[in-house]
Amino acid sequence: MKRSFLSLLVLLLALAALPGLAESVPIDEQGPEGAVTVTSEARALKKNDRGEDVKGLQTRLRELQYYKGPVTGNYYDQTARAVKAVQEAYGLEATGNADAETLDIIYGDAYRPLKKGDSGEDVKALQTRLSELGYYWGKVSGSYLDGTTAAISNFQKDNGMDSTGRADVPTQQRLYSDDIVMPTPDPAATPTPVPPPTQPPNTAYPGKLKYGSTGKGVETLQRQLEHLGYFDRKVTSGYYKHTQASVKEFQKQNGLADDGAVGEETWAALFAPDVVYPNNTPRPTPEPTPIPYFVEVDVANQLIKIFRRDANQEFTDLYKIFTASTGTPSFPSDVGTWTLTGRTARWAHFPTWGGGYAQYWTRINSSIAFHSFLYSSDRKNINMGSVNKLGRTASHGCIRLTIQDAKWIYDNIGKGVEVWIHEDAQVDPELKHAHRPGTFNTKAGIHNATPEPTAKPVYNSAVTPQGDLRELKVGSEGEDVFWLQSRLKELGLYQGTVTGQFREGTRDAVRAYQRANKLRGNGNADKKTLEFMYTQALEEEAARVQPTAGPLTVTDEVPASPAPSPAPSSPVAGAGN
């Protein structure tokens, strides 16, 4: 019997079991969206500040060529001047202090003003973009000379801007968007013959495309939108404002959710035989699917609880439980209920906290997100400290998870799902222990899968555990522990989850039982305690089934059955059971 119960060691882990956990997740995979730069955890910086976040700021300013000094981690005059230059370029108050608005610009798609005589990779990118748009025909050299000046001047003239020939920040913001006016062709020029296509375009789904995406997949998207009559700009392979607007219009016309991003459903509709054209009758929008999940972040136990809808469409079906690391007392996770916007990223970069990365980033609010444990700044090495701290507070407010659990949330928890973060749950050591991750596989870079659980035993107080009587204490596991927890719960002494695993919550309940029955003990269920408990349970059962003494009084009245307990109205009720 004892041996048959070894598999009960993972009782309740079915809630957290995921298919395919043994599959390796490559840490160098780069999704089509690229990495999002997360600055929401940054502190505002000012002159005389010091630290890793100052180093991160100086490094980023050097990349943008606003800062030429050494990366020291000391915020002195040279750093302040560089920050001030950014603020001036973007029309902000030029204080030289890196406040939140300034940091968002610096760590976002920031540009430096460019003019004749400048050089660098940003000049090369500028020339490439001008070539794509038909304004620049010279060599992409990275040197801003007369040809680049003339191209910028013509672009500015066509787009209603002052024709200065200098690529200031507003000019670059317009240039890299889709909200542009294309150059007017010279009517005297001989048109360049367009060769017939040698092969049909590759219509295989390239992965999710959205604002900021680039590459062949975007080019194919734009060509198809152009063919269908939704896109009237030059095909550039860059997914910006005009492409996003065209996708939204296509989605509305074809009865799809108009989020402006191209997932598999939108991609398939683009190439479907029954595609709806702009001048056709729009396809009816399907009824919205009810939000399928509710997410509880239990800070007290460092657990994520995923609820599904029950038969009454209420979120009471506890479906999965994940171990997490939430924010530390100095950087707590934001308590409250947050509605997700659907914003995700395959990789996230945290430049203000050492430049590390994480996988499967799912935004909760403007400050925090779900994501995996951390990686080094080159994404080649795992930060084992963040792996080992899973189950304890460790982050700057974000919710860290295993790779598998972060990916499940990334794949399944979408726009409209509510996330409830709270710190007032009852501490439940048994539940926490039951849902700890498997051992970490350093070779694969993921946690090993946990064993498949067996069926939950049926508790009956009158059927005491069979086999040799043994002392039960923290670390004990088995059917006798399951019976013990169930009995203590029945007596109102144990408030935790019945798992068959003896942890600190069970010990405290045993100690309370021993005190209540004047038994000596320290919370371990020794043989004397168990014998007393078994005898007590059997006597109660015997008293319950024994015929009532004395004459039987017969009446016509039938006692009313007790009213059933109402089902929990929110995920809070019964969440720890």
* Residue pLDDT, tens place only, 436-457: 999 999 999 999 988 777 778 8
Alpha carbons 347 and 35: distance in angstroms, whole number: 4
pLDDT at site 575: 39
| Beta-carbon count within 10 A of 278 CB | 11
In this structure, which amino acid lies at residue 91?
G
pLDDT band at 518 (very low <50, low <70, confident <90, very high): very high
DSSP 528-540: HHHHHHHHHHHHH
Residue 574, pLDDT above cutoff 50:
no
What are phi and psi for residue 186, nearest 5 degrees? -80, 115
| Beta-carbon count within 10 A of 199 CB | 5
For the chain, domains (ranges, CATH) are 1-7+453-545+571-577 (1.10.101.10), 43-106 (1.10.101.10), 121-175 (1.10.101.10), 176-182+203-288 (1.10.101.10), 293-447 (2.40.440.10)
DSSP 435-478: T----EETTTTEEPPPPPP-PPPPP-TTSPPPS----B-TT-BS
What average pLDDT does this structure show over 465-490?
95
Q: Which of 324, 399, 322 is nearest to 368 (CA)?
A: 399
Query: Is the model more confident about 531 or about 33?
Result: 531
Residue 557, pLDDT above cutoff 60:
no
* Residue pLDDT, tens place only, 258-275: 888 899 999 999 999 999
- The two three-digit tokens of residue 9, written as one number: 């060691």
pLDDT at site 549: 52
* Residue pLDDT, tens place only, 130-171: 987 889 988 989 999 999 999 999 999 998 899 999 999 999
Residue 553, pLDDT above cutoff 60:
no
pLDDT at site 74: 95
Residue 369, pLDDT above cutoff 50:
yes
Q: How big is the chain, counted in residues?
A: 577
Alpha carbons 495 and 438: distance in angstroms, whole number: 26
Residue 7, pLDDT above cutoff 80:
no
Alpha carbons 227 and 164: distance in angstroms, whole number: 36
DSSP 18-78: -TTTTS---TT---TT-EEEP-TTPPPB-TT-BSHHHHHHHHHHHHTTS--S---SB--HH
Averaged pLDDT score across all residues of the chain: 84
